[in-house]
Amino acid sequence: MRKVFQLAIVLYCSSLLFAHQKPVSESRVLIFTHVTVIDATGAPAKPDMTVVISGDRIMKLGKTGTVHLPKDAITVDARGKFLIPGLWDMHVHEWNKEVFFPLFIANGITGVRDMFSPLPPLKQWRAEIAAGTTLGPHILAAGIIVDGPKPLCAPCSIAVGNPDEGRKAVLTVKEMGSDSIKVYSLMPRDAYFAIAGEAKRQNMVFAGHVPEFVSAAEASDAGQKSIEHLTGILVACSAKEAELRKENEERLQTLGFLRNTFTVEQDAALDSFDEKKAAALFARFVRNGTWMSPTLSVLRTQAFIADLDLQNDLRLKYIPKFLKTQFWVDPYGVNDRTAADNAQAKRVFQKQLEVVGMMKRAGVEFIAGTDTANPYVFPGFSLHEELALLVQAGFTPMEALQAATRDPARYLGRLDSVGTIQKGKLADLVLLDASPLVDIHNTQKINSVVVGGKLLSRIELDKMLSTVETVVSNGK
């Protein structure tokens, strides 16, 4: 991950050189007829519906034949097709709009939560999207990372060593215009709780990793809104939690760095997993309103990296050269792993899947995210893998779909405008050729995408992908 984060400075500079995309054309009234609507509210699929879109809003919904159709509208006969809300990837790092934006949109992703990228270009891109000069997703951005006095991503973080510095960091992040605060792994305990208190006073969301010197239960009680990558969860479910955390803290104090795993001491916690302790922790998350962004796609890639046919993945043609040749080399330390290391990584991942299912059944809230663009986590494409992994963990297809539609809107406080297909909401939609409620993999069978009321056909989406391929082949 550190390599990917170090891209920030380079990519900030290069992003300023990118030419603006052509203005997005103004949309007319758009109508889908005879479509099956999966509105993501949890209601059953509604067949043979008509959806009328005017400007960027859904204006009417009803049974086909009962809805008045305006004249001079663009009408799409969507028999046999399925309309879902636009998807959200709730954990991305998106430094290159020429590549990432088209990949998001072509994969039906109309909104993202950026958990660290340089904020100035993100603000500029948001303004361009709002003005209609750039086609891209809605962006919520944390901006910079807040970490301990020796941050893992030193050039890209605010280093915090004590409570006063923690409180000042919150004010700095707010002044920068970030939408939330991202806390990271090496945050000292007292600084972390100072950040939690100041974030509450400033009415700012704080989310991120569970720091190594804080327990998952303490993070939940402190008001951390979401826990990313399941950090701290397995050790928090261990009957030996206190012992494992003490050993880890002593090692960190001595060595000053994390070992090369995504979460610390998680493998040691497997044999001491305590279901009663886990149930109590999950009930605490429910009580405190603590969300999970498990990013199973990156965890799975990390666990199974030695088994993947990386060089023949067809999606590599969409990935910039600098990522493939500089930052996706020896991904997750695979070249130094032993067979035992790989077996243990798979064992950890299988337990993580199990724990995600346990949390879901306990009522814990989830949002789907990928951690794009860590090695072999593909912008746009990997969100569909994330939904399939949620189903593998025990979600129903509807619940997995909601984790990328309705529930991100709830998390962000935007359910009044996005997340479901209802009258008055923004017309961010995906038309599918098959039902995701039958098979969640059908979210990949995209016929067309509607972004703010503007229809992008399969031909146009393929053209966008082709353009990305050209940009990448030219060395961008």
CB 29 within 8 A of CB 176: no
Question: What's 291-340 look like in SS3?
Answer: EEECCHHHHHHHHHHHHCCHHHCHHHHHCCHHHHHHHCCCHHHHHHCCHH
Note whether 108 and 60 are same-domain residues.
yes
State which H helix or E strand residue 275 sits in.
Answer: helix 275-288
Place of tokens 């509807």: 398
One-letter amino acid for residue 111 of the chain: G
Determine the pLDDT at residue 151.
87
What would the two tokens of residue 22 be? Answer: 């052509």
Query: Tens of pLDDT along 203-219?
Result: 999 999 999 999 999 99
Note whether 364 and 453 are same-domain residues.
yes
CB 84 within 8 A of CB 429: yes
Residue 24 within a domain: yes
Residue 238 within a domain: no
Note whether 106 and 150 are same-domain residues.
no
Alpha helices, H only, 69-188: 97-106, 119-131, 163-176
Note whether 105 and 54 are same-domain residues.
yes
- Distance between CA 157 and CA 146 in Å, rounded? 6
One-letter amino acid for residue 95 of the chain: W
CATH classification of the domain holding 165 = 3.40.50
Residue 237 within a domain: no
User: What average pLDDT does range 341-358 have in this prediction?
Assistant: 94
Residue 279 within a domain: no
Residue 240 within a domain: no
User: Tell me, what DSSP letter sits at residue 395?
Assistant: -
Place of tokens 């593998």: 392
Residue 216 within a domain: yes
Residue whose C-alpha is closest to residue 445's, from 402, 387, 389? 387
Determine the pLDDT at residue 94.
82
Note whether 114 and 149 are same-domain residues.
no
Note whether 149 and 127 are same-domain residues.
no
- Distance between CA 278 and CA 335 in Å, rounded? 34
- Distance between CA 184 and CA 195 in Å, rounded? 12
Note whether 158 and 223 are same-domain residues.
yes
Determine the pLDDT at residue 248.
83
Residue 281 within a domain: no
Residue 375 within a domain: yes
> In this model, does residue 5 exceed pLDDT 50?
no
Determine the pLDDT at residue 265.
61
> In this model, does residue 102 exceed pLDDT 90?
yes
Note whether 370 and 254 are same-domain residues.
no
The string over 234-255, giving b where at least 16 C-beta atoms fall within 10 Å of a residue's C-beta and e elsewhere, is bbbbbebbeebbeebeebbeee
Residue whose C-alpha is closest to residue 343's, from 306, 295, 294? 306
- Distance between CA 304 and CA 352 in Å, rounded? 14
Q: Which structural domain range is residue 415 located in? A: 2-135+297-473
- Distance between CA 90 and CA 227 in Å, rounded? 12
User: Tell me, what DSSP letter sits at residue 270?
Assistant: G
Q: Is the peptide bond before 373 cis (omega within 30 degrees of 0)?
A: yes
Determine the pLDDT at residue 132.
93
More confident residue, 28 or 367: 367
**What phi and psi values does residue 207 have, to the nearest 5 degrees?**
-150, 175
Q: Can you spell out the DSSP letters for 16-31? A: TTSPPPPPPPPP--EE
CB 430 within 8 A of CB 108: yes
Note whether 162 and 91 are same-domain residues.
no
Instruction: Give the percent of the chain with pLDDT over 70.
Output: 91
- Distance between CA 404 and CA 84 in Å, rounded? 11
pLDDT band at 152 (very low <50, low <70, confident <90, very high): confident
pLDDT band at 258 (very low <50, low <70, confident <90, very high): low
Order the strands of the 138-141 sheet from edge to edge: 87-92, 109-114, 138-141
- Distance between CA 336 and CA 346 in Å, rounded? 16
CB 163 within 8 A of CB 149: no
CB 352 within 8 A of CB 230: yes
Note whether 154 and 129 are same-domain residues.
no
Considering its fold, how many domains does the chain have in total?
2
**What phi and psi values does residue 407 have, to the nearest 5 degrees?**
-75, -35
Note whether 393 and 434 are same-domain residues.
yes
> In this model, does residue 26 exceed pLDDT 60?
no
Query: Tens of pLDDT along 31-81?
Result: 999 999 999 999 999 999 999 999 999 999 999 999 999 988 999 999 999
Note whether 259 and 349 are same-domain residues.
no
- Distance between CA 441 and CA 384 in Å, rounded? 7
pLDDT band at 256 (very low <50, low <70, confident <90, very high): low
Determine the pLDDT at residue 154.
73
Query: Tens of pLDDT along 178-203?
Result: 999 999 999 999 999 999 999 999 99
